[in-house]
Amino acid sequence: MAKCAFGVSKVEHLGHFISVEGVSTNPNKILDVQSWPIPSNIIQLREIIGLAGYYRRFIKGFAAIYRTLHDQLKKKGFSWTEEYTAAFNQLKQALISATILAMPYYAKSFIVETDASGKDIGAVLMQQGHHIAYIKQKALKHLLEQQVHTDFQVDGISKLMAFDFSIEYKKEVENKIQNTWYTDLTLQLVITKLQQQPYKSYTWCNNQLRWKGRLVVGDDMQLRTTIIEQWHATPQGGHSSMDATIKRLQSLFFWKNLSQDTRIYISKCDICQRHKYDVVASHGLLQPLPIPEGVWTYICLNFIEGLPKSNGNEAILVVVDMLSKYGRSMALSHPYNAQSVAQ
């Protein structure tokens, strides 16, 4: 009976506190976290990583923070840098501000929201809008479709088969694009019209605004630049040519001046400017002009345009002798042609 508690609003169990609000970290251990000094050897670092790993499901983005510190364990000796200090402080702050996770109710549906990068996929297990756990996992989109599975995937599939579930992929870029529809007054008007009747080449289906089947991007230059960057400057884009990049973008997205924005971005791409060869034919080497035999045998002419009008004249003809370099200037007025200038 010494370990029993009755009529209390919160109980401690295996380093966690369970209450009507959900599951939270142990406040006493979090107080210890606040006083953590920067580790000075591998043993201290292992203790810190061990405690953090125990509470990993409370921390969003735990894998990215954990990886930096864990890399230190793979090195020979102990070498601490500013990068590790930043990751250490970030881990402390994440533990101190860990959220309260709801208790799962297995009679209701679960939702797993994921966000992937080129290396990892992070996920949040949710139910009725409440967070249950933060997890890190491999890609799930084609898990049930692929023919060859790893031992890890087979183990995961065997556990999932007991549930009625579906896997849906929601691109992060689409989430941001949807936000632009409600900040762009023109697109708001288009959406309102589409909800009443068909409007031009626009369609509104599954809460997506499309133009001739392409996803419409609102007036957000930062987002447009990000989209162009993903389709040009990433390994998948491969710094393709202007026409190839524009063609790919136009097959998926629509916004006014898409081609112009893409050309401006690529023309300023540092990698393309440094490493791509010039397709313009070489102009060849400069050749010296022959020395004239007498003055005013050969002359050079040039026009200076765009000057303020003075006494009816708005241009200057400059004539330079090739031998003596003596120059003469004459005022001209529009219109003029080759014959009048020669006279």
- DSSP annotation string for 269-311: -HHHHHHSPP-SPP-----PPPPPSSTTSSEEEEEE-SPPPBT
At residue 138, the pLDDT reads: 47
Distance CA 121, CA 115 (A): 6
Helix, strand or coil for residue 203? strand
Contact 307, 301 (CB under 8 A): no
List, in sequence order, every residue forming a beta bridge with 211; answer none if it has no partner.
202, 214
At residue 261, the pLDDT reads: 94
Radius of gyration of the chain (CA): 34
Contact 99, 25 (CB under 8 A): no
192, amino acid identity: T
At residue 260, the pLDDT reads: 93
Distance CA 34, CA 29 (A): 9
CATH of 10-97, one of 3.40.50.1170, 3.40.50.460, 3.30.70.270, 3.40.50.1000: 3.30.70.270
Q: Which ranges in the chain belong to alpha helices (H)?
A: 27-34, 42-54, 62-74, 82-96, 151-160, 172-181, 185-194, 221-232, 242-252, 258-267, 270-275, 338-342
At residue 199, the pLDDT reads: 83
Contact 253, 215 (CB under 8 A): yes
Per-domain boundaries in the chain: 10-97, 111-161, 173-274, 299-342
Q: CB 75: neighbour CB atoms within 10 A?
A: 9
Tell me which residue of 73, 28, 12, 20 sits closest to 47, measured CA to CA. 73
Per-residue pLDDT of the chain (343 residues; tens, 9 = 90+): 666 777 776 666 666 667 666 676 666 666 666 677 777 787 777 777 777 766 666 666 666 666 777 777 777 767 777 877 787 777 777 766 665 556 666 677 777 776 655 455 666 777 666 666 665 554 454 555 554 445 555 566 666 655 666 655 555 555 566 666 767 788 888 888 888 888 888 888 767 788 888 888 888 888 889 889 988 988 778 888 889 999 989 988 899 899 999 999 999 998 888 887 776 777 778 888 888 889 988 888 888 888 888 888 888 889 999 889 999 888 888 888 888 888 7
Contacts of 321 (CB under 8 A, 6+ apart): 295, 296, 298, 299, 327
How are strands ordered across the β-sheet holding 10-13? 10-13, 16-19, 22-25
CATH of domain 173-274: 1.10.340.70
- Burial per residue of 220-238, b for 16 or more beta-carbon CB atoms within 10 angstroms, e otherwise: beebbeebbeebbbeeeee
Distance CA 82, CA 321 (A): 68
Tell me which residue of 177, 175, 271 sits closest to 222, measured CA to CA. 177
At residue 320, the pLDDT reads: 92
Helix, strand or coil for residue 332? strand
Contact 237, 244 (CB under 8 A): no
